[in-house]
Structure 1
Amino acid sequence: MTWIDLPEDSPFGPDNLPLGVFRLGDEEPRIGAAIGDHLIDLAPVASAQMLDGAQLFAEPSLNKFLALGRPAWQATRTWLLELVRNTSERETVEPHLIRRDAVTMLMPFEVADYVDFYASEHHASNVGKLFRPDAEPLLPNWKHLPVGYHGRAGTVVASGTDILRPSGQRKAPDADAPTFGPSQRLDIEVELGYVVGTPSALGQPVSVDAFKDHVYGVVLVNDWSARDIQAWEYVPLGPFLGKSFATSISPWVVSLDALEASAVPLGRQDPAVLPYLAGENLTNFDITFEVRWNGEVVSRPPYRTMYWSAAQMLAHLSVNGASVRTGDLFASGTVSGPEPDQRGSFLELSWAGREPVTVNGEQRTFLLDGDEVTISAFATTATGTRIGLGEVSGRIVP
């Protein structure tokens, strides 16, 4: 319920209120909360109400707000809900409602470290079948720990940023030696990213039960991938130049509290995990992604089928004593479901190029210059309400 006039199908209803950083014209960047087709310019509203910490909403990133920790996050959400639900707040808030199509959305936070996981059994199995057709799809460690790698924080970019086609070494299966040049098998990966607010001390692992004390919310992630570069370089140390050139994230950070109503129990894990990965109430989210390739929907991956939970990813990331910092981003890895039209990468959709996908009447496998990919998503609650996560997009340039 809200006094603000909202489109019926708005992804940003009054129970969502994600935070992001915007610029209006040539004004300084600052923080807003999305509501319907508008955003609330939070700095002047907070100042008018003499809110403690009001100056944080005038910051050009969410980092200082994220560092406040869970009690402050919950207090801020309570305040935001009151702003949009209580008609007595209308006089204060309405002058600071800005249409979202009038602003430029920027990076919502400064990324400290970036870790990417591999948490979908369907994706990992598909990749295993493609790359190791004569062996078991999953490697022996896969169901014992959330496999991941450390990425490059400096190349995480805002939605809408053009993606320069990367160059590197590639080696064709029938070639005697590698060649250097632009990737010919440029791909996407549909992922959910988790944004760390509260840091941890070096040497102190974060338990699965402490997940919500450290993670503020989520963003959408497209982990662009150069499959030909990746295939040649990844043995024996894993992803490097085939992954590090660009990772796009959505502009709005949706809080875990907003997503709580869409939580679903984590599926059965067999074999049983080690104690540091075990918990009584491990959950996933009922989130559905939509992938549009040059405007045409080609896939709808479901997040609820993920094998590893985010709490387990964070616990494993830190179990060796590695600390987490405000602004850390860790992503789920490619989200893929059991059906062909639920695959979260073009590597899987085209089955490594052997089964082309029809896009606007053309047969396609990997990305060409000029292609644009947009990933959107929504979470579904038990009552059927949808919570939008916005979208992340990027266009390939030569």
Structure 2
Amino acid sequence: MSVSLVAEHSAETDAAPAEHLDETHAAALVSWVPSARGHAEFPIQNLPFGVFSPHGQAPRGGVAIGDVILDLAALAASGLAGDELAEVTAAAAAPRLNGFLALGSDARRRLRARLSALLREGAPERASVERMLHRAGDCRMGLPAQIGDYTDFYAGIQHAINIGTLLRPDNPLLPNYKHVPIGYHGRASSIVPTGSAVRRPNGQRKRPDESAPSFGPCRNLDYELELGVWIGPGNALGTPIGIDEAQEHVAGLCLLNDWSARDVQAWEYQPLGPFLAKDFATTISPWIVTAEALAPFRVAQAPRPEGDPAPLPYLQTSRPDRPAAYDITLDVLLQSEAMREQGLAPHRLSRGTTRDLYWTVAQLIAHHSCNGCNLQPGDLFGTGTISGRAPDSFGSLMEISRGGREPLTLPSGETRTYLADGDEIIMRASASREGFTTIGFGECRGRILPALS
């Protein structure tokens, strides 16, 4: 992509600033890796980072390119990244990427540029780099980093309205929602990578028609469609992150399924909020799609509806010319055990967009740290459930089935209000923009196992 063409794109009302775009984003860029050409998720314009174990070997850092993974440990040992990138490459090759995330955007940008040069058509190093590739299907993916802390937000306003309408028809949206980004601290230890089975949790539950609670398997098991936000450099305890600097603390994004035991939640959440209904499992996609790869898909935050309060000053950027939101499309699919046996493809339940988020990622970071809370490299945020206004854009079964009152029918003829044992939820996402190559996130997938007796 020429400099003039980058400038042309940045001049569009909704586009990323020119300083965020470089030749690694060029749509004309082609990789010598055959499967990367036209790949729906991992073309050379993406280059996400993750941790993988090739052929049963020890875990190490890698980069997805097409249907293969570039072994960064092998790249570091080869010296092909260059002396000036030796420390950065070693950090990205580690079995946990916390050290790499701590290095910040400049280090990611420089390594990204070198990887792009090594993997593009005509690279003289091709023969050497080819020996560092592993077929993705032969590898096991792990968590990209050691997650010290996990915070789940509630930034999807339509989800808040949809759920509020079910629970409080006369007052669906609580009065603080449009003033403060709502969130809670979750459990980092139960975050698992895609493909991990999810055990139906036991817990206390009580139906409205029951006189007392009982203990047993969750009856109303649900998913929630979210984006995960990986924190890069952190902040010192007691030192807030300003809204204009917040984006520099974003290492990248992933998909996140906030599994939810709705009946357990309904009984336990008052007065303190989510607890056992949420912390039994959270599934994430395995790749960190970097802030740099997502630069072309930054867009202006949707204007607040007339009458909504303006954010308080600490949540208002002084650079409104810099797009603060993302344009990402997200799908949720379900495949039951009967569907698998019948050879039926997963059924799409909904399609949502990050444009429906009320709060931006930068606002979440600024708010989280406004009291001096110290974020650390490898911390993970959930955006909150991403839902739209139409039923085919709802991000949870509780919304789709209207609290269990309206079952949906699957292609197998089965009906669902909530998840059954054997059901598998698959989440996918992509970022597209005219003039740029579409990139994806990889799957966020989990299958429900029966509760333990």
Task: Judge same fold: TM > 0.5, yes or no.
Answer: yes
Equivalent residue for 1:341, pick from 367, 392, 399: 392
Say whether 1:306 aligns with 2:342. Answer: no
Q: Which amino acid aligns with 1:362?
A: E
Say whether 1:387 aligns with 2:439. Answer: yes
Question: After the TM superposition, which residues 248-287 of structure 1 pair with which residues of structure 2 at under 5 Å, given as runs?
Answer: 248-269=283-304, 270-279=308-317, 280=320, 281-287=322-328
Say whether 1:47 aligns with 2:81. Answer: no
User: Which residue number corresponds to residue 10 of structure 1?
Assistant: 40
| SS of match in other structure, 1:381 | coil
Matches of 1:107 and 1:384, distance apart in 2: 29
Matches of 2:206 and 2:257, distance apart in 1: 25
Gaps of 5+ in 2: 1-28, 336-345
Equivalent residue for 1:325, pick from 364, 372, 376: 376
| SS of match in other structure, 1:52 | helix
Say whether 1:107 aligns with 2:143. Answer: yes
Matches of 2:292 and 2:358, distance apart in 1: 22
User: Which residue number corresponds to residue 373 of structure 1?
Assistant: 425
Matches of 2:286 and 2:330, distance apart in 1: 16
Structure with higher strand content: 1
Question: After the TM superposition, which residues 1-398 of structure 1 pair with which residues of structure 2 at under 5 Å, given as runs?
Answer: 1=29, 2-5=31-34, 6-48=36-78, 49=80, 50=83, 51-53=85-87, 54-85=89-120, 86-133=122-169, 135-269=170-304, 270-279=308-317, 280=320, 281-294=322-335, 295-360=346-411, 361-383=413-435, 385-398=437-450
Aligned-pair CA distance for 1:56: 2.5
CA distances 1:351-390 after superposition (whole Å, capped 9, x unpaired): 1111111222211110111111110100112426311011
Aligned-pair CA distance for 1:212: 2.5
Q: Mean Cα displacement is larger for which, 257-266 or 210-219?
A: 210-219
Matches of 2:39 and 2:75, distance apart in 1: 27
Matches of 1:113 and 1:192, distance apart in 2: 16
Q: Which amino acid aligns with 2:314?
A: Y
CA distances 1:92-118 after superposition (whole Å, capped 9, x unpaired): 211112111111111111111000001
CA contact 2:101–2:377 (8 Å) conserved in 1: yes
CA distances 1:43-76 after superposition (whole Å, capped 9, x unpaired): 2223222542243344211111111222211111
- Flag the 1:354–1:329 CA change in 2: closer, same or farther, 3 A: same
Structure 1 vs Structure 2: percent identity of aligned residues? Answer: 48
Q: Mean Cα displacement is larger for which, 206-215 or 54-63?
A: 54-63
Matches of 2:43 and 2:55, distance apart in 1: 26
Q: Which amino acid aligns with 1:357?
A: L
Aligned-pair CA distance for 1:290: 1.0
CA contact 2:227–2:253 (8 Å) conserved in 1: yes
CA contact 2:56–2:139 (8 Å) conserved in 1: no
CA contact 1:262–1:382 (8 Å) conserved in 2: no
- Flag the 1:120–1:57 CA change in 2: closer, same or farther, 3 A: closer
Matches of 2:259 and 2:205, distance apart in 1: 17
Displaced runs of 4 or more, over 6 A: none
- Flag the 1:272–1:230 CA change in 2: closer, same or farther, 3 A: same
Aligned-pair CA distance for 1:339: 1.2
CA distances 1:148-168 after superposition (whole Å, capped 9, x unpaired): 101011111111111111111
| SS of match in other structure, 1:209 | coil
- Flag the 1:302–1:58 CA change in 2: closer, same or farther, 3 A: closer
Matches of 2:45 and 2:178, distance apart in 1: 36
Matches of 1:192 and 1:38, distance apart in 2: 24
Aligned-pair CA distance for 1:91: 2.3
CA contact 1:45–1:92 (8 Å) conserved in 2: no
RMSD of aligned residue pairs (Cα, Å): 1.3
Matches of 1:231 and 1:4, distance apart in 2: 50
Q: Which amino acid aligns with 2:313?
A: P
Aligned-pair CA distance for 1:282: 5.0
| SS of match in other structure, 1:390 | coil
